[in-house]
Amino acid sequence: MVEITGSWENTDHMLRCGAAGTLDIWENHEYYRLFTAMFLHFGLQHLGNNMLVLLFIGDCLERNLGKIRYGLVYILGGAGANLISVFQEIHTHVYVVSAGASGGVFAAIGGLLYIVIRNKGHIENFTSRQLFILAFLSLYHGMASKGVNNTAHLGGLILGFVLAFLLCPGGPRKKLSGDRKRYNKSCLFPGRSNK
């Protein structure tokens, strides 16, 4: 839809569609942009890269956290990463227009990293070493490229780890009962069914 109404590589058009602009968010109180920016992308390659990583990382994280907790890690991690980026831009007085799911994707990587570490360094086809390498290479690629919101990437990674820690039953919270207990088992023993 964004491409039909204009160009998804035009920053003014992307701002009109809901991309994250620090001054719009901070001064005009358009906080919805912290969320809407996650669903806009600057081009097909940008969208494709995010969706490809999310396909593998997100699928595994969803199976091990459950749909709701996975959704919370992704959405809160992505919006939180955008907010961290806003604070960084206010601090440095360098304002850019941001869009993309990368903050949420990095939150998913951080969340899965927590689950893998919690499960003694391995879950399904992922090891903690593989995820550390993926996170490092992704962050390095962002730092070596122009026009990449590295603050949102790093913020998403950290927030995803923290959110998974807080949301994963059996973690820092007391034992769960009833229907929520099944997620406790899947989080501790990922090979078991959620039934």
In the three-class reduction of DSSP (H, G, I as helix; E, B as strand; rest coil), residue 179 is classed as: helix
Assess contact for 51 and 105: CB atoms under 8 A.
no
Hunting for tokens 């956290």 — which residue is that?
A: 65
Hunting for tokens 């901070």 — which residue is that?
A: 26
**pLDDT tens per residue, range 126-178:** 788 888 888 888 888 888 888 788 999 999 999 999 999 999 865 433 333 34
pLDDT band at residue 89 using 50, 70 and 90 as cut-offs? very high
Q: So which residues are the catalytic ones?
A: 102, 153
Partnered with residue 21 across adjacent β-strands are 97
9 vs 21, more confident: 21
Q: pTM score, two decimals? A: 0.80
- CA separation for the pair 107, 169 (Å, rounded): 18
**pLDDT tens per residue, range 44-83:** 888 898 899 899 888 889 988 899 999 999 999 999 999 9
- CA separation for the pair 101, 121 (Å, rounded): 26
- The DSSP output letter for 7 is -
**Which residues of 55-191 form beta strands (DSSP E)?**
97-98, 122-123, 126-127
- CA separation for the pair 105, 156 (Å, rounded): 7
143-152: long-range contacts, CB 8 A cutoff, minimum separation 24: 147/42, 149/85, 149/96, 149/98, 149/100, 149/102, 149/103, 151/81, 151/84, 151/85, 151/88, 152/81, 152/82, 152/84, 152/85, 152/98, 152/102, 152/103, 152/106
Tokens of 124: 């399904």
- CA separation for the pair 60, 143 (Å, rounded): 27
Assess contact for 151 and 85: CB atoms under 8 A.
yes
**pLDDT tens per residue, range 118-128:** 888 777 877 88
172, burial (CB in 10 Å: exposed 0-12, middle 13-18, buried 19+): exposed
